[in-house]
Amino acid sequence: MTTNSSAGEMSLPLSGASAKAGSWLVRILFVGCIFLSAFLLFLVQPIIAKQIMPWFGGSSAVWTTALMFFQLVLLAGYVYTDLATRWLRPGVHAAVHVGLLVLALATLPIVPAETFRPDAQKSPIGQVLLLLLMTVGLPYFCLSTTSPLLQAWYTRLFPGRQVYRLFALSNAASLAALLAYPFLIEPVAGIVTQAQVWGGAFVLFAVLCTGCAWASRRAGELAPMAPYEAPAAGEPGHAPARSDYAVWLGLSAMGSAMLLAITHHLTQHIAPIPLLWLLPLSLYLLTFVLCFEGRSWYRRSLVTAPLILLLAGMAWGINVPANEVRVRMAVPLYAVGCFVCCMFFHGELSERKPAPRYLTRFYLCLSLGGAIGGLLVSAGAPTLFDNYYELPLALLATSVVMLWILRRYLTANMAAWPVAALALASCALTGLMGWVFYNQHSLGNVSMQRNFYAASRVVEFGDGNGGSQRVLYNGGIVHGNQMLAPAVSRTPTTYYGRHSGVADAMTFTASTKPGGRRVGVIGLGAGTMAAWGQAGDDFRFYEINPHSHQIAERDFKYLSESPARRQVVIGDARLMMAEELAGGRANGFDVLVVDAFSGDSIPVHLLTREALAVYKKHLAPGGIIAFHVSNLFLDLAPVVGLLAEDAGLKAVRIRSRDEDPEEYSSAWVLVTDNQAFLDHPATLEHGSPIKPRAGATLWTDDRNNLYEVVR
């Protein structure tokens, strides 16, 4: 092999058309490997998250913790790439990298081992991180190194080429993976099949990457690594200063923090459905594609005005009371806001990108900044804050960064003073709205607590009848309400009132089990179901969030005032019930209430064929399972109907009727083989058949899709 000094490209042993064809084949090899690696890099995230979410209660915190893990491993991959390209000879580096690929192949498939099932007594964040590390850590590490590493090798092979377009290509592939998963992959393949196919694709990636390593090794025999040499005379590019590194870190951290803060806000306060986890991340990746594609899509002058207005709009939006109209307005507002904010951060990063010889340092700073932003929101915020304050703080920080970046432009152009005034006003409004949000969520609270699972607060105010009441909020959703006057404190309220579907089940069993009932409740909330307890009854609550137990005992009286015997089991209900069966204990519930909300949606793993099989084994003969399916965004009743039919049971939907002021509109699906209950006059009067939903399929642990039940 020889080096073409004029073109600076690798020459092959052949000449003329054959050498040119060989050069194109090498380029195609690099492009294909980078695209496939980035596609797999982001496809693995929903695949593994969907496998482990049932183990941790279906909380959106599992998704954000997984994002934090992937950002940390991405950082480790970029550190490895930077150090290896600086200190290892090309042949040694190629051998080391191929060795890592072989080790990663030995860890397939990416299916979590049963030994990593969670322990309710340990930190869920630590358990999620350990599980991910042992299951996908090494394959993900290899994938995370690909984009910067192959770009560095590509620079050696083809100096002078638009190498940053490969970075845009990798982000485009990542975006394609995120969009393909809910619409093309999830509907047609079970989770085990997804993991197996992903493993097969990883084998192909390993082969392509080995080919790239071989090409790089052979090129390294002829030319030293270019990125860390001083530029030749007249060649563009200078060594980055310390201030450049600081700006790269800051802008990258702000983009990551804004992504996760908006994701938290969307899924906890506006539309708590997992589909919205992908929307901000997709927009985040799209901004990388547009900013680094090479055609200068970012224009500061075009982004500034929308950024100023959207910051003010999002700051105003965090203080608007939650309702359905807000959903229609807020989802587009925060989606567009996420896009414009990230376009601003990543556009400014693109404006400051260094010469290709420094690209591994640049990518290392981008990855480190992303990890810092992710850690602040995913780990720092639940530890430091008792509510979701990260979005107001992120908006304020963005306003400050915007003013800092625009300061020279605004001071150098006197004609731009209206823009300066708007920017200052937007910054002031953002700070003011953040202060209002803090006051609204802090003043008058009986208590506020936040952990991995939720941010909960208890508020006390008048009930309109001269008395007072306490309300439990989980994010923006009411999870319990109790009137405090002794005469009415044991009145079941909200979704469990005397006109609800669960009331029909409790009233019927009270008449047929005069000696006492056994009642299971999945989801504690404020403990409202205990209001239905009578002397001789035995209530067993399953609750994954230990804070909920503390709140129910400390701030509400439903548990303490109930004449029934009560026991609270901390841990995921399905796992706890399965362990009870394995230990030879079947509880013989006359009524089992499934009401484990995560925001406004029931965790999917509690609505599968396998879950219903566990519930049935815990039922007494003629027992009733009451599923709470009230939801603004998901039509869950057909899902329960299909499960009941598959299990040989009957299902009836009951909506609340003639609501009392303290009751909320609710929808329940009661599942049973108790014909006496189904023929009971109250059931016949209040119940209605469940209409099948077109396209709905039977949910199993291996295959389920929320997209098919979105309203």
Spell out the SS3 assignment of 546-597. Answer: HHHHHHHHHCCCHHHHCCCEEEEEECCHHHHHHHHHHCCCCCCEEEEEECCC
Considering the domain boundaries, does residue 37 fall inside one? yes
For 70, the enclosing helix (H) or strand (E) is helix 60-87
Do residues 43 and 175 touch, judged by C-beta distance below 8 A?
A: no
> Which amino acid is present at 345?
F
Do residues 341 and 395 touch, judged by C-beta distance below 8 A?
A: no
Q: Alpha helices of 514-557 — where are they, by DSSP H?
A: 546-554
Last residue of a domain, one of 226, 255, 270: 226
Do residues 628 and 502 touch, judged by C-beta distance below 8 A?
A: yes
According to DSSP, the β-strands at 538-543 and 518-522 are: parallel
Considering the domain boundaries, does residue 424 fall inside one? no
Do residues 128 and 69 touch, judged by C-beta distance below 8 A?
A: yes
Kindly list the averaged pLDDT for each block of 10 residues, start to end, along the chain of length 711.
36 44 78 93 87 72 79 88 83 88 93 79 81 94 89 76 77 88 85 92 95 75 42 54 91 93 79 69 88 78 89 84 60 91 93 83 88 85 81 92 79 63 80 80 77 82 75 80 88 90 94 91 93 94 90 93 94 88 94 76 80 95 93 83 95 81 86 94 90 83 77 66
> Which amino acid is present at 224?
P
For 446, the enclosing helix (H) or strand (E) is strand 445-450
Domain CATH for 553: 3.40.50.150
According to DSSP, the β-strands at 589-594 and 565-570 are: unpaired
- Check residue 696 and give its pLDDT: 77
Dihedral angle of Cα 27, 29, 33, 35, to the nearest 10 degrees: 50
Sign, CA torsion 513/518/520/526: positive
- Check residue 99 and give its pLDDT: 93
- Check residue 519 and give its pLDDT: 97
Do residues 418 and 305 touch, judged by C-beta distance below 8 A?
A: no
- Check residue 635 and give its pLDDT: 83
HEC string of 247-310 equals HHHHHHHHHHHHHHHHHHHHHHHHCCCCHHHHHHHHHHHHHHHHHHCCCCCCCHHHHHHHHHHH
Last residue of a domain, one of 205, 226, 247: 226
Considering the domain boundaries, does residue 322 fall inside one? no
Please give the model's pTM, rounded to 2 decimal places.
0.78
Residue with tokens 């806001």: 337
Report residue 555 as tokens. Answer: 């701030």
Q: How far apart are CA 310 and CA 49, in angstroms?
A: 31
For 541, the enclosing helix (H) or strand (E) is strand 538-543
Q: Which residues pair with 448 in a beta bridge?
A: 457
C-alpha dist (Å) from residue 258 to 300, 693, 709: 19, 37, 29
DSSP conformation class of 186: T
Q: How many CB atoms sit inside 10 A of residue 188's CB? A: 10
If one counts the domains in the chain, the total is 2
DSSP conformation class of 634: B
Q: Concatenated DSSP letters for 152-184?
A: HHHHHHSTTS-THHHHHHHHHHHHHHHHHIIII
Question: Up-side HSE of residue 239: CA atoms within 13 Å toward CB?
Answer: 6
Considering the domain boundaries, does residue 677 fall inside one? yes
Q: How far apart are CA 257 and CA 270, in angstroms?
A: 19
Q: How many CB atoms sit inside 10 A of residue 6's CB? A: 6
Contacts of 369 (CB under 8 A, 6+ apart): 248, 249, 250, 251, 252, 253, 254, 255, 256
Contacts of 126 (CB under 8 A, 6+ apart): none
Q: How far apart are CA 289 and CA 287, in angstroms?
A: 5
Q: How far apart are CA 134 and CA 128, in angstroms?
A: 10
Residue 260 phi, psi (nearest 5): -75, -35
Q: Quick check: helix, strand or coil at residue 622?
A: strand
Instruction: Tell me the residue range of the domain where 517 lies.
Output: 489-709
Do residues 316 and 624 touch, judged by C-beta distance below 8 A?
A: no
Considering the domain boundaries, does residue 4 fall inside one? no
Do residues 581 and 617 touch, judged by C-beta distance below 8 A?
A: yes
Do residues 228 and 88 touch, judged by C-beta distance below 8 A?
A: no
C-alpha dist (Å) from residue 449 to 64, 473, 547: 19, 11, 7
Domain CATH for 146: 1.20.1250
Do residues 185 and 176 touch, judged by C-beta distance below 8 A?
A: no
Do residues 306 and 181 touch, judged by C-beta distance below 8 A?
A: no
According to DSSP, the β-strands at 538-543 and 565-570 are: parallel
Q: Quick check: helix, strand or coil at residue 222?
A: coil
Angle between helices 242-265 and 324-351 (to 10 degrees): 170
Last residue of a domain, one of 207, 226, 245: 226
Q: How far apart are CA 695 and CA 639, in angstroms?
A: 11
Q: How far apart are CA 590 and CA 676, in angstroms?
A: 14
- Check residue 234 and give its pLDDT: 37
Report residue 607 as tokens. Answer: 């609505």
Considering the domain boundaries, does residue 630 fall inside one? yes
Considering the domain boundaries, does residue 562 fall inside one? yes
Sheet holding 538-543, edge to edge: 565-570, 538-543, 518-522, 589-594, 619-628, 667-672, 650-655, 687-688
Considering the domain boundaries, does residue 651 fall inside one? yes
Query: What's the gap between Cα 602 and its chain centre?
Result: 15
